[in-house]
Amino acid sequence: MKIKELYYESFVEDYPSLTLLIDYLVNERKLLTLLDDVNSLQPYLQDHHKSKMNARLIAYKEYLECKKKA
């Protein structure tokens, strides 16, 4: 499965955290592409990255919200 398929499913099935994570890694950080295999997400889903990644995603979400208001 490709990240693109997972992204679509996360959007349709209403998993906003997963949608935000993929958006962040693909569009903001450019660490992954939508054509990468879904296993490429594994390092970012591990517990020892959780608190750091959560902080980054909160900041990214706030950035997106501010961008919408402008």
Structure token digits, residue 36? 């990468």
pLDDT digits (tens, 9 = 90+) for 43-60: 999 998 888 999 999 999
For residue 32, what are the CA distances in angstroms to 46, 68, 70? 16, 24, 28
pLDDT digits (tens, 9 = 90+) for 4-34: 999 999 999 999 999 999 999 999 999 999 9
Task: Identify the domain containing residue 20 by its residue range.
Answer: 3-69
21-27, long-range: CB within 8 Å, 24+ apart, which pairs? 21/53, 21/57, 23/60, 24/56, 24/57, 24/60
Structural domain count, the chain: 1
pLDDT at 54: 93
Task: Check: CB of residue 25 under 8 Å from CB of residue 32.
Answer: yes
pTM of the model: 0.90
What type of residue is 9? E
